[in-house]
Each structure stands twice: as structure tokens, then as C-alpha cells.
Chain A
Amino acid sequence: MTSHAIQNDVDELVATLLQLDRVASNRVLHRFGAQNDGLIGLESVISGALESIGERWEAGSVSLAQVYLTAKMCQELLRPWTPPESLTPKGNFALVVLEDQHTLGAGLVRAVLACAGMAPVYWGSLDTAGAIARILAEKPQTLLVSTLMLRSALRVSKLTKAIRDAGLSTRVIVGGAPFRFDAALWQEVGADAVGRTSADALALLRAAHRGDP
């Protein structure tokens, strides 16, 4: 939830991002960063902007291409402010594309998380057996699963079963087209939460890791 104090800056940044105006967006960020807590403040306003853009896509007023290009722009604009070590995966959470070659959704999630100074361990595209093997080997605290096809989404149930059978506490957060068209699907496959947009991943991850540094 974006605080009222930065809402005007968020709204201004959303407007410049949707115009793909790199210069104006950078100006907003520099002004905000100078007046607030530097990187920490910037991450708040950028996360707020990406969340707003995600909501607009959900409502139908913004396209997926715009969601992608604005997220990539934010990543690039933040780069001069971002210490290199923050790009190294830390925290015990992973991201996988399940049973598919389409990585756009995962790419968007990575961009959103990067803008908040978070980097998952990225497993790339794996089949179900491969994903289960990594879960059992690496025991992530949270696993973000991106799917495009219904058959892939249904295979999440095999992941959650493997987690239960192994007695692990891994929380599974799912996202992707099938979950948007069937509101109950995430529960059907035993996931712990569902993100309807890539920006949801940040809030859900923070909820899952509440209390972690």
C-alpha cells in the first residue's frame, strides 16, 4: 500500500513511465531520491508505480507490453542507485517457470522484485520433476511459480504434494494466465497464494517472509 505522502510522486512517475519518457521519469526519481531516503525511498515510489501500472493492466487500461517496458525502464533507471551486491540472490526464495518456454511473466516478476532490491534464485524453465528435485535439494522458504498453460498450472499440485510429503514448509505463490481465468485454481493446486499481476509478487513475498531481514 502506497503512503499518501508519496502518492503524488507515484502518480507522476506512472504518467512518465507510461509515456516511456526516460528523461522525465529519471527527473522524478532524482528529485524524489534527493528529498527522501535515497535508494530506500526510491524503491517505495517505484514499487508503488509498478503496482499502479499492474492494477491498470488488470483493469484493462494498460497493455502487457506497457507493463513489461515500464518495469524494464525502472530497472535501468534504478541501476545507478543500486549497489551491485543487491543484485545477488539473497533470502531463501526462488522463481521457476513451470513446464513452459515463455518467460515473460517470470521476467516481469524479476524486474519488479529487482526494483525493490530483491533477487530470487532463478531456476528458469523446468519440468515438474526438475522443479521437485530442486525444491527437495534447496528447500526454499518461498517458491514463486509462473505458468502460461492450464496443464502447467495443474502440475503445481505435484509440487505442493511433494512439499507436503517431504515435510517442508515451502510456501508456493503462483501466477500466470490460467490463474487469472479461474479464480479457484490456486487453491485447487494447493498453492498458498496467487498473484494476478507481477506487481503482486512483491506484496505476497513480503507477506510470506514477514519478519525476515
Chain B
Amino acid sequence: MTTPTMTPMQRVLTSLSHKEPDRVPFFLPLTIHGARALGVSIRDYFSRSEQVLEGQLRMRARYGHDLFMGLYYAAIELEAFGGEAIFYDDGPPNAGAPIIRGPNDVRSLQAPVIQDCAPLVRVLETLDGLKRHVGDTVPIVGVVMSPFSMPVMQMGFEAYLELLSGDRDTFWRLMAVNEEFCVHWANAQLRAGATAICYFDPLASPTMIDRKTYLDTGHLVAKRTLARVLGPTITHLASGRTLGVIDDLVSTGTVGVGVSVLDDLGEVKRACQHRMTLLGNLNAIEMRHWTPEQTEQYVRDAIRLGGPGGGYILADNHGEIPWQVPESVLDELSAAVLRWGNYPLVEGPWGS
């Protein structure tokens, strides 16, 4: 096994530059697993920023991944808008009831003030703590929900699809509010210590919305929003397909994309043509019952398809590792990256 010669920051930045670093970087978005490590409930874990900081440090100490995750849970932004997050003992907090029930609610909607939302302030404290611990040696990824995908939580999926197809005036009013919040929230995280921002935009995927509608709506939102974010961004489609919108995502200015297990990683790599770095695309739902042999094979396959030439960070396909994935699988995954991910790669890509 080769001794690493780069810091995680150097490794990730080299790969983002579409050059081959010492080995393939890998990212384990372990949002709630710190609660298990600290022996507290998930609700309790997120109630204090120093606990999330400790949890993130412990996770990285055990698994050796190359990026810290600033995300607490997606519904935290709904809380900022006055909604509720529902906590569980064995999964990420979920969004509560919609806060928008009609056009009047959109007309009166205001972008939240970050400092007035205690959960958001805790996220900033965690980012600040991570930055103080690692300086510029390990990338820290802050996360925002895209203004275009946020309404799924704000008003429910069905109501949002009806709005998107039937009331564009109200839709654009909602986007104006969401864009303001998203930009402020992204930049606040960068100021607090985040190196980059993950722009979580599941509705950009052709799995969810047809491309024409996306180009008329979410794509315009992404271009406007990301242009105002004062740091690099990675766009994640939360296990939705990416082929079909690669060129569109590139034109938003984002530097990376999360790849779905439904996509062929090699095909996405070719479509990107070194214009975006890929993250993915391990199936974290199936990961629960992977044997050591399966874990190693899936890691090898992903590295073989995504790794050549850099521009690749091995990760799961959804942007969050489920609570039910055993620690032993994550241990094996990390070991497999260290065994098979050193550059120059032992195995070339299939079909290249």
C-alpha cells in the first residue's frame, strides 16, 4: 500500500482540476452516524453543534475519508421557514407538514434571517469548529437545498408539480424568495469555514422533471443562484439520473455532479469531458447487506470507471449514507479505496 503524499485538500483539489492525485479521493456523507458514535439520540445529537463537530471528527478518524460534511439534515431549511423537522431514532430527520398551502402563502413568504434560526446557527458553529480543527488540510462541504427543489418540502410534491405546470407567476415569486435565502445561506456557510457548497437539486434530474421544463425553470434558477455563491459548488441530484442534463449543469457554473446508481458512471464521465468532477455512485441502500467481497468489487468497479484522469471522488449515489449501513461495510469500503485507488490506477476502464 502506498503511503499518501497529499493532504485531503490537495488530493481533492487535484482531482477537481482533472489531474490524478496520489489516490482517488472518497467522500462518506455520514450525517447521523455521529449520534451512534457519541451514544446519543439523533435529535439530541443535532441539538448541540459541538456534538456534531465531535461526531464528524470521529467519523473521519475512523474511516479516513477526504471531505467533511456540513449538512445536518435537509429539513433544517424548512425549519428556517417556520416548518417542522420530524426526528427518528434510526434515520435522518424528515420534513413535517407543508408550510405553503396556496398562492397567498407564497405572496406573504419572506426569506428567513439566518441568525434567527437556531438550527442554522448550529450548522455555522459546526463549520467554524471543523475549520479550526483542520485549517486548510481537509475540505469542508456545506450544503444548501436548491431554490427549485426546496418547494417539495415547503408545499408537498403534488402541489408543487401543479404549481409548476399551472401557475408560473406564483412559481417565480416563490423562486425569488428561495433564491435570496439560498444565496445568503450558502455564503454564510462559506464564511463560517466551508470550502465548497453542495447544491442539492433533485428536481434538476430528468428522473423528476422533463428537460424542457427544467430549462425554463430550475436551470435559470441554478444559473442565477450559483453565480452569486462566493465559492465552488457541486450539484447533487440525490440519486436522480444525470445523463440528459450534463451540458445544462455545466452551464450553471457548477464544478461537480453527484452521479446516480441508475447512471453508467463511465458514460457520465465521457459526457462530462473533464468539465465537471463526478461524485458517486455507490448504492447506499443496497450497501446495508454488502459482503466484504461485494464492497471491494463495487469500489473497484467505480474507481475503474470514474478514476482515470482525476475528476472523480468516490461516494454514494444519494448524498447520505443510511443509518442501517453497518460500520464494518464502511470500514471495508475505506480499505478498498486505499487498496485500489492509488494512482496510477492498476486497472484501466472497461471499454475505453
Q: Is the CB of A151 within 8 A of B323?
A: yes
Among A68, A151, A185, contact of B91 (Cβ-Cβ < 8 Å): A151
| Distance between Cα atoms of A185 and B289 in the complex (Å) | 10
Residue B94, interface by CB 8 Å: yes
Annotate B91-108 by CB proximity to A: 1 below 8 A, 0 otherwise.
110111110000000000
How many residues in B have their beta carbons less than 8 Å from beta carbons of A? 36
Q: Is the CB of A181 within 8 A of B88?
A: no
Stretch among B56-64, B205-213, B296-304 lining the A interface = B205-213
Q: Is the CB of A63 within 8 A of B207?
A: yes
Q: Given A149-B91, A149-B94, are A65 and B286 neighbors across the interface (CB < 8 Å)?
A: no
Q: Is the CB of B206 within 8 A of A181?
A: no
Contact residues of B between 128 and 172, Cβ < 8 Å to A = 156-158, 161, 164-165
CB distance from A148 to the nearest CB of B (A): 9
Residues of A within 8 A of B206 (CB): 60, 63
Q: Is the CB of B210 within 8 A of A66?
A: yes
Residue A154, interface by CB 8 Å: yes
Residues of B within 8 A of A66 (CB): 210
Q: Is the CB of B261 within 8 A of A181?
A: yes
Q: Is the CB of A185 within 8 A of B208?
A: no
Q: Is the CB of B157 within 8 A of A102?
A: yes
Q: Is the CB of A181 within 8 A of B210?
A: no
Q: Given A60-B206, A65-B161, A107-B158, are A151 and B262 neighbors across the interface (CB < 8 Å)?
A: no
Q: Given A151-B323, A181-B286, are A65 and B158 neighbors across the interface (CB < 8 Å)?
A: no
CB distance from A71 to the nearest CB of B (A): 11
CB distance from B308 to the nearest CB of A (A): 25
Residue A150, interface by CB 8 Å: yes
Q: Given A20-B165, A102-B156, are A63 and B209 neighbors across the interface (CB < 8 Å)?
A: yes
Closest to B239 in A: A181
| Distance between Cα atoms of A184 and B90 in the complex (Å) | 20
Q: Is the CB of A60 within 8 A of B262?
A: yes
Q: Is the CB of A104 within 8 A of B91?
A: no
| Distance between Cα atoms of A101 and B153 in the complex (Å) | 9
Residue B283, interface by CB 8 Å: yes
Q: Is the CB of B285 within 8 A of A185?
A: yes
Annotate B217-254 by CB proximity to A: 1 below 8 A, 0 otherwise.
00000000000000000000001010110000000000
CB distance from A191 to the nearest CB of B (A): 16
Annotate A154-181 by CB proximity to B: 1 below 8 A, 0 otherwise.
1000000000000000000000011001
Closest to B317 in A: A181
| Distance between Cα atoms of A149 and B86 in the complex (Å) | 13
Q: Is the CB of B262 within 8 A of A154?
A: no
Residues of A within 8 A of B261 (CB): 181
Residue B322, interface by CB 8 Å: yes
Residues of B within 8 A of A63 (CB): 206-210, 213
Annotate A57-71 by CB proximity to B: 1 below 8 A, 0 otherwise.
100101111101100
Residue B324, interface by CB 8 Å: yes
| Distance between Cα atoms of A60 and B323 in the complex (Å) | 28
| Distance between Cα atoms of A178 and B288 in the complex (Å) | 12
Residues of A within 8 A of B208 (CB): 63-65
Q: Is the CB of B286 within 8 A of A182?
A: yes
Q: Is the CB of B323 within 8 A of A65?
A: no
Q: Is the CB of B157 within 8 A of A104?
A: yes
Q: Is the CB of A65 within 8 A of B94?
A: no
| Distance between Cα atoms of A63 and B218 in the complex (Å) | 14
Contact residues of A between 115 and 172, Cβ < 8 Å to B = 149-151, 154
| Distance between Cα atoms of A159 and B12 in the complex (Å) | 45
Q: Is the CB of A150 within 8 A of B324?
A: yes
| Distance between Cα atoms of A103 and B95 in the complex (Å) | 13
Q: Given A60-B262, A65-B209, are A150 and B165 neighbors across the interface (CB < 8 Å)?
A: no
- Most chain-B CB neighbours within 10 Å: which of A100, A151, A177? A151
Q: Is the CB of A100 within 8 A of B94?
A: yes
CB distance from A151 to the nearest CB of B (A): 4
CB distance from B207 to the nearest CB of A (A): 6
Q: Is the CB of B285 within 8 A of A181?
A: yes
CB distance from B330 to the nearest CB of A (A): 16
- B interface list, Cβ under 8 A from A: 86, 88, 90-92, 94-98, 156-158, 161, 164-165, 206-210, 213, 239, 241, 243-244, 261-262, 283, 285-286, 288-289, 322-324
With A60-B206, A63-B208 already in contact, 6 other A-B pairs whose C-beta atoms are closer than 8 Å: A65-B165, A103-B156, A104-B157, A151-B90, A151-B322, A184-B289
A–B Cβ pairs within 8 angstroms, 16 of them: A60-B243, A63-B206, A63-B213, A64-B207, A65-B209, A68-B161, A101-B95, A102-B157, A104-B156, A104-B158, A149-B92, A150-B91, A181-B283, A181-B286, A182-B286, A184-B289
- A interface list, Cβ under 8 A from B: 20, 57, 60, 62-66, 68-69, 100-104, 107, 149-151, 154, 177-178, 181-182, 184-185
